[in-house]
């Protein structure tokens, strides 16, 4: 392509990109000239062929975005680092992203029609403006693993790009900044980003009231499931788990009954990655745990209208249901308080050691058949000499598959496995097929067992590996369960339930 042809192509990309915003109703035709000029400034181009008309069929917006960023990098307007490209991408997309006031006004207008209509609008906008990284998410590997508890979902998370080594080196010398205080703060909305903090120029948050507090709704840029959203406090305040937590979870599903919402636990090892900012995760997805049945109903004498039972699940789950949200929150608080102080040495459960608490809960709320429903997953973060990573944490023999903390999403039956497994599992498949392949040391014992399975069953190699990964994730959940799925473990679970009457 000649220089003139390249200039013409980028001019056409500028024109067409602005037109995508007008065509989608994200901006007005009256803004056309101003937006073109703002876009030219961002990519470092001084002029534009004013005779150009928009293409009759507009190209894909993300393809246009790539062309614009490539132009800026090739012409020295930005350094060709990942963070610089992402910063410019977000700035370009922000040009055709409505301001927060516009989005919030439209959202709540639509909410008056139907809550689903409102979230559909905001979710589509968050995809169209590339805040939700649809192309990156599409790289994830996903398959199912059938178990007696339902179909577990297995994903190898490839969506988050690995950092460029040159960028890592630069970040070491970046000046320290406490703004925004964390990646969940409201101050991320529209923030340009820096080498050690992601670009958020195209980020928008819907403001919402929640039980007398000011909260926000946003979507996760690297979603793990359908409409993966985050509810976050306007204040940068640490996560807590108490009656107010249960009340807020139920308050959210009162406003958005088509979503589930849950909170990570509030202790290390069994908690989420960001405990410094109060937030919950939700979305429109049915996890295997939600479909798991009650296998042992029981009564809570103090809460006559609340239905309660133990859920058939590899982790230890109590399900509550009822029509009265306030009573349900009180029942959940009663169980949490009982669990925080509960010890059963025969089951390796100690409430605290040397004054350090170990027991907490991962709660999940949803609406089902007109009733509020709360799943309370019992957690304990105690460590021991035998299990220094956690007694109720993936044990060493499955850490070749999953070593990280088991948070809210995995508790419900969706595995989020590390990117390293993509290449490692390919190498294992090649090895099982008789090809020369280098196997990581921590996989070798596991692979030996796979070879025996494959020889016995004669099954497809890829299927053997996938099912073995799924079986390992099931073990991960069983390891994280405080009351094991054994006669002794279930008897111990019933001992705890006996304390609740």
What per-residue confidence (pLDDT) applies to 172? 60
- pLDDT-based confidence at 271, cuts 50/70/90? confident
37/150 same-domain check: no
65/172 same-domain check: no
Question: Where is the domain boundary, 51, 77, 103?
Answer: 77
* Torsion angle of the four alpha carbons 363, 368, 370, 376, in this order, in degrees rounded to the nearest 10: -20
CB atoms under 10 Å from CB of 80, counted, come to 14
Q: Residue 156: in which H helix or E strand, if any?
A: strand 150-156
CA-based nearest residue to 16, from 43, 54, 53: 54
> Is it the case that residue 176 has pLDDT exceeding 80?
no
Q: Are strands 294-298 and 260-262 parallel, antiparallel or unpaired?
A: unpaired
Residue written as token pair 């297995």: 154
269/363 same-domain check: yes
152/221 same-domain check: yes
Q: Which residues pair with 380 in a beta bridge?
A: 359
In a domain, 319, yes or no: yes
What per-residue confidence (pLDDT) applies to 3? 45
393/310 same-domain check: yes
Residue 112 burial (C-beta neighbours within 10 Å; 0-12, 13-18, 19+): exposed
What per-residue confidence (pLDDT) applies to 1? 47
pLDDT exceeding 70 applies to what percent of the chain? 95
Q: pLDDT, tens digit, for every residue of 213-249?
A: 999 999 999 999 999 999 999 999 998 899 999 999 9
* CATH at 319: 3.30.428
Residue 66: partners with Cβ closer than 8 Å, 6 or more residues away: none
What per-residue confidence (pLDDT) applies to 69? 97
Q: What angle do CA 464, 467, 469 make, to 5 degrees?
A: 110
Q: Give CB contacts under 8 A, 24+ apart, made by 77-84.
A: 77/43, 77/44, 81/164, 81/166, 81/167, 81/170, 82/161, 82/163, 82/164, 82/167, 83/167, 83/193, 83/194, 83/195, 83/199
> Is it the case that residue 4 has pLDDT exceeding 90?
no
Name the residue with higher pLDDT: 63 or 460: 63
**How many angstroms separate the CA atoms of 196 and 180, rounded?**
11
What per-residue confidence (pLDDT) applies to 30? 98
In a domain, 121, yes or no: no
What per-residue confidence (pLDDT) applies to 184? 95
- 308 token code pair: 């309660």
- pLDDT-based confidence at 168, cuts 50/70/90? low
In a domain, 446, yes or no: no
| Average pLDDT for the chain | 93
> Which range is least confidently modeled, 281-295, 427-441, 447-461, 487-501?
447-461
- 102 token code pair: 């516009």
In a domain, 105, yes or no: no
Contact 392, 482 (CB under 8 A): yes
What per-residue confidence (pLDDT) applies to 134? 96
> Is it the case that residue 289 has pLDDT exceeding 90?
yes
- pLDDT-based confidence at 162, cuts 50/70/90? low
255/371 same-domain check: yes
Domain around 72: 3-77
In a domain, 302, yes or no: yes
Question: Where is the domain boundary, 62, 77, 92?
Answer: 77
Residue 455 burial (C-beta neighbours within 10 Å; 0-12, 13-18, 19+): exposed
In a domain, 474, yes or no: no
206/352 same-domain check: yes
59/139 same-domain check: no
> Is it the case that residue 2 has pLDDT exceeding 60?
no
What per-residue confidence (pLDDT) applies to 6? 59
> Is it the case that residue 5 has pLDDT exceeding 60?
no
141/52 same-domain check: no
Q: Which of 152-161, 372-381, 430-439 has the highest mean pLDDT?
A: 372-381
What per-residue confidence (pLDDT) applies to 273? 67
In a domain, 455, yes or no: no
In a domain, 73, yes or no: yes
57/145 same-domain check: no
Question: Where is the domain boundary, 77, 104, 126?
Answer: 77
DSSP state of 398: G
> Is it the case that residue 294 has pLDDT exceeding 80?
yes
316/408 same-domain check: yes
Q: pLDDT, tens digit, for every residue of 317-359?
A: 999 999 999 999 999 999 999 999 999 999 999 999 999 999 9
Report how far apart, in Å, the C-alpha atoms of 301 and of each of 43, 80, 233, 287, 307 are.
Answer: 67, 65, 34, 30, 11
What per-residue confidence (pLDDT) applies to 274? 78
What per-residue confidence (pLDDT) applies to 401? 97
Number of domains in the chain: 2
376/303 same-domain check: yes
Q: pLDDT, tens digit, for every residue of 107-126?
A: 999 999 999 999 999 999 99
């Amino acid at each position: 392509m000649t220089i003139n042809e390249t200039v013409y192509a980028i001019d056409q990309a500028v024109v067409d990109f602005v037109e995508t915003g007008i065509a989608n109703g994200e901006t007005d035709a009256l803004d056309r000239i101003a937006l073109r000029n703002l876009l030219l400034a961002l990519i470092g181009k001084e002029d534009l062929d004013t005779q150009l008309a928009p293409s009759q069929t507009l190209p894909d917006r993300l393809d246009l975005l790539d062309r614009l960023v490539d132009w800026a990098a090739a012409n020295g307007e930005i350094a060709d680092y990942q963070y610089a490209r992402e910063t410019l991408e977000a700035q370009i997309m922000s040009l055709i992203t409505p301001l927060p006031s516009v989005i919030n006004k439209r959202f709540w207008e639509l909410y008056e029609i139907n809550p689903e209509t409102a979230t559909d609008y905001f979710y589509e906008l968050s995809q169209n403006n590339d805040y939700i990284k649809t192309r990156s998410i599409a790289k994830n590997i996903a398959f199912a693993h059938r178990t007696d508890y339902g179909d577990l979902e297995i994903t190898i998370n490839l969506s988050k790009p690995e950092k460029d080594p040159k960028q890592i080196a630069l970040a070491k010398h970046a000046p320290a900044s406490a703004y925004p205080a964390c990646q969940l703060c409201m101050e991320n909305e529209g923030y340009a980003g820096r080498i050690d903090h992601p670009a958020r120029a195209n980020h928008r948050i819907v403001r919402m009231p929640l039980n007398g507090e000011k909260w926000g709704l946003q979507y996760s840029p690297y979603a793990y499931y359908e409409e993966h959203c985050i509810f976050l406090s306007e204040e940068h305040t640490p996560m807590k788990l108490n009656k107010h937590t249960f009340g807020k979870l139920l308050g959210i599903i009162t406003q958005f009954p088509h979503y589930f919402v849950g909170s990570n636990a509030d202790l290390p090892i069994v908690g989420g990655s960001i405990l410094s900012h109060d937030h919950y995760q939700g979305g429109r997805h049915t996890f295997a745990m939600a479909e798991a049945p009650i296998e042992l109903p029981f009564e809570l004498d103090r809460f006559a209208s609340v239905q309660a039972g133990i859920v058939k699940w590899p982790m230890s789950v109590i399900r509550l249901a009822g029509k009265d949200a306030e009573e349900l929150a009180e029942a959940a608080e009663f169980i949490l308080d009982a669990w925080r102080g509960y010890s059963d040495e025969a089951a390796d459960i100690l409430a605290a050691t040397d004054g350090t608490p170990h027991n907490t809960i991962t709660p999940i709320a949803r609406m089902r058949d007109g009733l509020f429903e709360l799943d309370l997953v019992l957690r304990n973060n105690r460590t021991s000499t035998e299990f220094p990573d956690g007694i109720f944490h993936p044990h060493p023999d499955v850490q070749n598959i999953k070593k990280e903390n088991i948070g809210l999403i995995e508790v419900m039956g969706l595995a989020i496995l590390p990117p390293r497994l993509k290449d490692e599992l390919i190498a294992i498949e090649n090895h099982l097929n008789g090809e020369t392949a280098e196997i990581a040391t921590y996989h070798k014992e596991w692979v030996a067992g796979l070879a025996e399975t494959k020889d016995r069953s004669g099954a497809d190699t890829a299927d053997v590996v996938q099912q073995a990964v799924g079986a390992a994730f099931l073990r991960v959940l069983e390891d994280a369960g405080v009351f094991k799925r054994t006669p002794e473990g279930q008897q111990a679970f019933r001992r705890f339930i006996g304390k609740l009457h």
